[in-house]
């Protein structure tokens, strides 16, 4: 009996160690809790983030232990990447946003248009009839496809009344990055310096790669299996994040 218990405890221990290594160094699952990245990421999406894409900092590990300073094996992110990072305010909360500004860039909104280094970002209108969630509220929006200077394309939405039209010019400091949500009028991001602001490279956790599961919590609980056909978004399974 003692041998049986010992063998099983050893197996569990090694399984936990392997799981910790995979979660810390390779991939980690994340859940989307807010509407800030709609229409590309929906509340209820579960996705995998690769931890090795940008190298490792203390935030690569559970509870951010101070085992070393700075970042090792660092690889610079690309403009347009969808990235999970620790918010600078508490260095604990995970946010997911799109990288817009690199170190040394200037970012500004003028009459609702996005400018990077004083060049207006091209956007093509896709729909004027969409609606989008912002928390539990629904707003009428215009849907655009934006194209960055590295040819990365993605959809963004702006409320028709443009709650965020003009801004001061943001100058991204060295070793820092500037993030925006794709749901531009419903996102707490780098535009709000007191709550998010510029994000240091050491706060990067990993790159969002693909959705592996998605469910719409507004339609009920996963425990109600008889509603799964309405609740689970099967069309989003294994969808690559752009």
Flag whether pLDDT at 105 surpasses 60. Answer: yes
Q: Tell me: the pLDDT tens digits for 179-215? A: 999 999 999 999 999 889 999 999 999 999 999 999 9
Q: Is 239 a catalytic residue?
A: no
Sorted by where each starts, the structural domains of the chain and their CATH numbers stand as 25-240 (2.10.109.10)
**Is 122 in contact with 147 (CB distance < 8 Å)?**
yes
Written as six digits, the tokens of 226 are: 């008889």
| Average pLDDT over all residues of the chain | 90
Q: What are the tens digits of pLDDT across the range 15-34?
A: 666 656 666 678 999 999 99
Q: How confident is the model at residue 101 (pLDDT cuts 50, 70, 90)?
A: very high
- 97 tagged catalytic: yes
Gyration radius from the chain CA atoms? 20
Q: Tell me the percentage of the chain whose pLDDT exceeds 70.
A: 90
From residue 118, alpha-carbon distances to 98, 166, 171 in Å are 19, 14, 11
Residue with tokens 């990993």: 206
How many residues can be counted in the chain?
Answer: 242
C-beta atoms surrounding 75 within 10 Å = 11
pLDDT of residue 110: 94
- pLDDT value, residue 174: 97
State the DSSP H helix or E strand holding residue 211, giving kind and residue range, or none if neither.
strand 204-214
**22-to-7, 51, 54, 136, 196 alpha-carbon distances in Å:** 23, 9, 16, 35, 28
- In SS3 terms, 4-59 reads as HHHHHHHHHHHHHHHHHHHHHHHEEEEECCCCCCCCCCCCCEEEEEECCCCCECHH
d(C-alpha 185, C-alpha 195), whole Å: 16
With bands split at pLDDT 50, 70 and 90, how would you rate the model's confidence at 1?
low
Closest by CA position to 63, among listed 88, 93, 83, 28: 93
Please tell me which residue in 35, 36, 57, 190 is annotated as part of the active site: 36
Query: Exactly one of 51, 58, 97, 155 is catalytic; which is it?
Result: 97
Please give the structure tokens belonging to residue 55. 């190298």
Question: Which pLDDT belongs to residue 17?
Answer: 63
pLDDT at 135: 85
The whole-model pTM stands at 0.91
């Amino acid at each position: 009996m003692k041998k049986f218990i010992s063998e099983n405890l050893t197996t569990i221990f090694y399984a936990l160690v392997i799981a910790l290594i995979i979660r810390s160094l390779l991939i980690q699952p994340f859940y989307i809790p807010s509407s800030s990245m709609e229409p590309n990421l929906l509340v209820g999406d579960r996705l995998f983030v690769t931890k090795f894409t940008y190298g490792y900092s203390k935030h690569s590990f559970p509870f951010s232990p101070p085992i070393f300073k700075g970042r090792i094996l660092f690889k610079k992110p690309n403009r347009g990447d969808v990235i999970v990072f620790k918010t600078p305010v508490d260095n604990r909360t995970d946010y997911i946003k799109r990288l817009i500004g690199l170190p040394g860039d200037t970012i500004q909104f003028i009459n609702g248009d996005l400018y990077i280094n004083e060049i207006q970002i091209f956007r093509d209108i896709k729909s004027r009839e969409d609606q989008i969630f912002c928390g539990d509220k629904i707003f009428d929006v215009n849907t655009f496809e934006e194209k960055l200077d590295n040819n990365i394309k993605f959809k963004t939405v702006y409320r028709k009344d443009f709650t965020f039209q003009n801004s001061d010019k943001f100058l991204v400091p060295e070793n820092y990055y500037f993030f925006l949500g794709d749901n531009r009028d419903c996102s707490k991001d780098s535009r709000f310096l007191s709550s998010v602001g510029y994000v240091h490279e050491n706060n990067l956790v990993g790159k969002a790669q693909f959705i592996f599961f998605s469910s719409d919590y507004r339609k009920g609980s996963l425990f109600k299996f008889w509603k799964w056909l309405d609740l689970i978004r099967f069309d989003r399974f294994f969808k690559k994040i752009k």
